[in-house]
Structure 1
Amino acid sequence: MSVAPTFGVTTLPTVANEPMRNYEPGSADRAKLKVAMDEMAAAMPFRVPCIVNGRQVTTGRINKQINPADHSGKPLCEYHEADAALVQEAIEGALKAKQGWANLPWNERAAVFMKAADLIATKYRYKILAATALGQAKNCWQGEIDAAAETCDFLRFGCTYVQQLYAIQPTAHAPTTWNRMEYRPLEGFVLAISPFNFTAIGANLTFVPAVVGNVTVWKPSPMAVYSNYLIYQIFKEAGLPDGIIQFLPGPAEPIVGAALAHRDFAGLHFTGSTFVFRTLWKQIAQNVDKYRSYPRIVGETGGKNFHLVLKDADVDNAVHQSIRGAFEYQGQKCSALSRLYVPKSMWENSFKAKLLAEIAKITLGPTSEFEHFMGPVIARHSYDKIMSLVDAARKEGGDILCGGTGDDSVGFFIQPTVIETKEPRSVTMVNEIFGPVLTVYAYPDDEPLESVCETIDTTTEYALTGSVFGTDREAISQASNLLRNSSGMWYTNSKCTGAVVGQQPFGGARGSGTNDKAGSMSIFYRFISARTIKEEFLPLGHYSYPHMG
């Protein structure tokens, strides 16, 4: 195979975060998004095939992605499901395509994804937002944060990070010697398993391995198939060669099982539940003897995130930040606020009343109605799980201060729920919920900060995001130190959601994942296998050492 020549050292354009659109009433952006949503709703259901080696594959095994706001209405799409045999075909095709992709000059691979970002920011902005709204129940603000801005940021900043990574070279060279580093792709293929809650994550889980020369088998969430399919189509329009990313919607067991059983399985890029990630890790361990190399395992999983309010905090700020952290996108973020710790006197004298008064203003409705802060949760199983946990808290003695009810007659709507608990290790303080449920523990005013932080640190297995609210720098610093390992994302006087690519690299440890920090250079290290190269320009005159005379 011929090797493409390189005639210059290229540098990428300077990147910045994609500017957010507000979609305020009367704006052109709002009108264009409304048109896109109306057109998409009228054209539903869309047909989505599997994509193997650039070929559309219709398997005849059909499943549906519903609209969570109208679960008995027309589905957003009907998609063909892959099976183990198709996975095998996809893997073999990807491996055949890999060498040509890996041999491309770096700037050619980067150009594909930089172009994709520009297509998303312009030509496809409203379409990808409409798909995310109708299929994943995100309002226009949450959709803009995710499907437009964050997707563009992942692609643009990611290319910049790879450029910086490739530039890291040895600085010391012995006389007549030249040392250098080569950042090879992994030997094999990467399996990407993406979640429903962020369209951008589907793009990033596939882009990260691909931009450094890998090939990827992509299993999207059944609840995000259509938006993810649009991302794949945009990558293709931007110039991605056939076979580099294979798009395989369908049931997890046959798809994932076939991939993990393959000798050339080289890496897992996963976002989803802690239970599933641990299950996959065990499967990989059981198969380790058959693999060509030790697979790279990268996962971002669950969270049980907290706000710690100190006695001198700005109450209004902590209230508003907590409402956003707990209830934006119906709490369906791995970073969503779930545990709130407030001094007892502050809680009883002001915080509680202000929190409940503000929550009472929140309205629920379908994303096609722009005035709502919240929409439905994603699916029947989510609705049932959330309501069962609220019921468990009630039976355990938790005080349901607001919400605690739902309506699943048309869509999967759950009212924003606040539970006050007297027991800091009660069921909804421990278990991940992934819904609009916030549990509050009012800790005694005289309880030492060390004790409060120990409770926060040891209550759950997770360590994703956490925030402290206060003004005393000594207390803030003390809380930060005591909770150093309680979260991979730490915020001061800011909610625990909303990490921005290029500003706050995202990830957590313990039960929350491998903390490889999406949105930073470090994630790319996991999908390369470095080779050290040493070249001597002059021959060695003799094998003996100088001390031998």
Structure 2
Amino acid sequence: MTTTMTIAPFKNEPFTDFSIDTNIQEMQLALQKVKAELGRKYPLYIGSEEVYTEEQITSINPGNIDEVIGYVSKGSSDLAEKAMSVALGTFETWKKVTPTERADYLFRAAALMRERKHEFSAALILESGKNWAEADADTAEAIDFLEFYAREMIRLSETDIHQPLTKIDGDDNHISYIPLGVGIVISPFNFPLAIMAGTTVAGIVAGNCIILKPADNTPVIAAKFVQLMKEVGLPEGVLTFLPGDALEVGEYLVEHPKTRFISFTGSREVGCRIYERASKVQPGQIWLKRVIAEMGGKDGVVVDETADLDAAASGIVASAFGFQGQKCSAGSRAIIVDSVYEEVVEKVVHLTKQLQQGLPEENAAVGPVIDQKSYDKVMKYIEIGKEEGELLTGGSKADGNGYYIQPTIFTDVDSNARIMQEEIFGPVLAICKASNWEEAIRIYNNTDYGLTGAFFSQEEERIEYALGNMHCGNLYINKKCTGALVGVHPFGGFNMSGTDSKAGGYDYLLLFTQAKMTSRKTN
């Protein structure tokens, strides 16, 4: 029987209060420090090797496109094959390391990241275009994932606590959770520290080896995290850092016969392709690959006539325009009951026009979208929106030497319109009118996605109905539909939003393990 050990209960990392002068000064110093390191070259990490390649990914500041964040070496299929070979060899020893020892690497990494919290946040501000609060929350969430999954691995190792089995005379029976093998993590740009770190360490602490392919837009953040894990002594080969082309590196590893699982966060299109490619059994493959996918959403906020309308308007604006709408949880739809429609719309437009837009490093409320491709996509949807609804505010490029787009609101949009159905991933809000609260919920459910949603009402019977009938993985009552906290709001969605993996939840690590039952006759 596994010996039970006691660890401190999990507590979420607190957010920084930037109304305090000392915190402002500390962030400004961190920004200065990170800016002094701009333009550095970063290698690939494969086992004990630091590999500098001739071909590089150039990471630029989306808020100031003349500023290069860094140059990151770019992987190839040959290097991917080498990375797989190293990871397979390392797995044979790493899988035998005790869960407590594996967890300890995460605890140490969390402590070190906490010491350098503002530095990581400053890097996020410059590379991803987040404002101070969004960056601080991203870093806090990364720390939370490290702390939470470390504790979870220890808990899972205490088999009798996690899953007590029915006792029978003459048998000694136990369930243990063993690692799968080598996994591929393909992480997104929008939470380039939190999601990247969380999906990576979940696999590692469960005893797997990970090949990390970060988003092309934010590879420097990922490189800094990998360097942190090396600093805390994580054995070489447990974590491989391999940025590269989606096909030459990403798809090559997805299809590799030795890949045991793929953890992906990104677009529906790419996620579905990964799901399809991973399902094909390759020559020499002796397992079915596991796919853990989070593929976005078309999330909505529903407001009935009994709601606190000021709170609803605030929730709509925060959900729609936080990090420029570049969250899979972003509330890009608002569905409002007819009798309060005009009043809520007026409040939403007023709040939106108050949002300051500008450089993230100057802590503007709204910054740039991530790159030219994203900018072009969002502007295309804005043109579509002009045909599908009434433009009340925004709708144009915003000032600045970057990918700035005005926060944009369309009203009187049909529930089947493209801007009500398709994920835009930018600062665009479509507002639809419903005759009553039940129709509003039906409109909310009228989408291929099912990630997050919000319902504003003060009628308890309606709230109970919404809890049972709004079809999404994360539903919030009388609050915005973004901002899930690790351990508090396990995160994952239904339908085309992905596999509902519930990151930051108490069963998430099971996805990176396989359960082995052992039975011994005792008499």
What is the TM-score with the length of structure 2 in the denominator?
Answer: 0.96
- Relative to 1, partners in 2 of residues 1:212 and 1:395: Cα closer, same or farther, differing over 3 Å? same
1:10 CA displacement = 3.1
Partner of 2:137: 145
Q: Report the Cα distance in structure 2 between the residues aligned to 1:47 and 1:282, rounded to whole angstroms.
A: 35
Partner of 2:458: 471
Q: Report the Cα distance in structure 1 between the residues aligned to 2:359 and 2:132, rounded to whole angstroms.
A: 11
Q: Report the Cα distance in structure 1 between the residues aligned to 2:128 and 2:265, rounded to whole angstroms.
A: 16
Partner of 1:60: 54
- Relative to 1, partners in 2 of residues 1:528 and 1:110: Cα closer, same or farther, differing over 3 Å? same
Partner of 2:43: 49
Q: Is the 8 A contact 1:192 1:217 kept in 2?
A: yes
Partner of 1:452: 440
Partner of 1:225: 219
Q: Report the Cα distance in structure 1 between the residues aligned to 2:125 and 2:177, rounded to whole angstroms.
A: 39
Q: Is the 8 A contact 2:335 2:431 kept in 1?
A: yes
- SS of the residue corresponding to residue 240 of structure 2 reads strand
- Relative to 1, partners in 2 of residues 1:172 and 1:353: Cα closer, same or farther, differing over 3 Å? closer
- SS of the residue corresponding to residue 61 of structure 2 reads coil
Partner of 1:542: none
- SS of the residue corresponding to residue 337 of structure 1 reads coil
1:239 CA displacement = 1.9
1:29 CA displacement = 2.1
Partner of 1:23: 18
* Gaps in structure 1 of 5+ consecutive residues: 1-5, 539-549
Q: Report the Cα distance in structure 2 between the residues aligned to 1:384 and 1:68, rounded to whole angstroms.
A: 14
Partner of 2:182: 189
Q: Is the 8 A contact 1:11 1:163 kept in 2?
A: no
1:345 CA displacement = 2.7
Letter in 2 for 1:22: D
Partner of 2:150: 159
Aligned match for 1:439, one of 430, 447, 457: 430
Q: Report the Cα distance in structure 1 between the residues aligned to 2:477 and 2:284, rounded to whole angstroms.
A: 47
- Relative to 1, partners in 2 of residues 1:64 and 1:235: Cα closer, same or farther, differing over 3 Å? same
1:160 CA displacement = 1.8
Q: Report the Cα distance in structure 2 between the residues aligned to 1:120 and 1:42, rounded to whole angstroms.
A: 19
Partner of 1:545: none
Question: Does 158-167 or 237-246 show the bigger shift?
Answer: 158-167
Partner of 1:347: 341
- SS of the residue corresponding to residue 414 of structure 1 reads coil
Aligned match for 1:502, one of 487, 500, 506: 487
- SS of the residue corresponding to residue 43 of structure 1 reads coil
Q: Report the Cα distance in structure 2 between the residues aligned to 1:336 and 1:270, rounded to whole angstroms.
A: 19
Q: Is the 8 A contact 1:138 1:367 kept in 2?
A: yes
Letter in 2 for 1:413: Y
Q: Is the 8 A contact 1:97 1:244 kept in 2?
A: yes
Partner of 1:109: 102
Q: Is the 8 A contact 1:260 1:287 kept in 2?
A: no
1:425 CA displacement = 1.2
Letter in 2 for 1:134: L
Q: Is the 8 A contact 2:375 2:405 kept in 1?
A: yes
Say whether residues 1:70 and 2:67 are aligned partners.
no
Rg comparison, structure with higher value? 1
What is the RMSD of the two structures over their aligned residues, measured on CA atoms? 1.6
Partner of 2:112: 119
Letter in 1 for 2:186: I
Letter in 2 for 1:463: G
- SS of the residue corresponding to residue 277 of structure 1 reads helix
Partner of 2:198: 204
Aligned match for 1:517, one of 502, 510, 513: 502
Letter in 2 for 1:287: V
Partner of 2:250: 256
Say whether residues 1:414 and 2:405 are aligned partners.
yes
1:321 CA displacement = 1.0
- SS of the residue corresponding to residue 90 of structure 1 reads helix
1:481 CA displacement = 2.3
Q: Report the Cα distance in structure 2 between the residues aligned to 1:11 and 1:294, rounded to whole angstroms.
A: 36
Aligned match for 2:360, one of 344, 358, 367: 367
- Relative to 1, partners in 2 of residues 1:7 and 1:185: Cα closer, same or farther, differing over 3 Å? closer
Partner of 1:37: 31
- SS of the residue corresponding to residue 532 of structure 1 reads strand
1:62 CA displacement = 1.4
Letter in 2 for 1:481: G
What is the TM-score with the length of structure 1 in the denominator?
Answer: 0.92
Partner of 1:380: 372
Partner of 1:336: 330
Q: Is the 8 A contact 2:44 2:241 kept in 1?
A: yes
1:220 CA displacement = 0.3
Aligned match for 2:351, one of 344, 351, 358: 358
Say whether residues 1:489 and 2:484 are aligned partners.
no
- SS of the residue corresponding to residue 519 of structure 2 reads strand
* Gaps in structure 2 of 5+ consecutive residues: none
Q: Report the Cα distance in structure 1 between the residues aligned to 2:243 and 2:79, rounded to whole angstroms.
A: 11
- Per-residue CA deviation, residues 312-355 of structure 1 (Å, 9 max, x unaligned), is 1001000111111111111110000111011223122x212222
Q: Which structure 2 residues correspond to residues 274-293 of structure 1 after superposition, within 5 A?
A: 274-287=268-281, 290-293=284-287
Question: Does 325-334 or 155-164 show the bigger shift?
Answer: 155-164
Letter in 1 for 2:131: N
Q: Report the Cα distance in structure 1 between the residues aligned to 2:369 and 2:44, rounded to whole angstroms.
A: 27
- Relative to 1, partners in 2 of residues 1:63 and 1:310: Cα closer, same or farther, differing over 3 Å? same
1:30 CA displacement = 1.7
Q: Report the Cα distance in structure 1 between the residues aligned to 2:298 and 2:109, rounded to whole angstroms.
A: 34
Q: Is the 8 A contact 2:206 2:513 kept in 1?
A: yes
Say whether residues 1:296 and 2:296 are aligned partners.
no
- Per-residue CA deviation, residues 59-99 of structure 1 (Å, 9 max, x unaligned), is 2111201100111x131011110000001101110111112
Sequence identity (%): 31
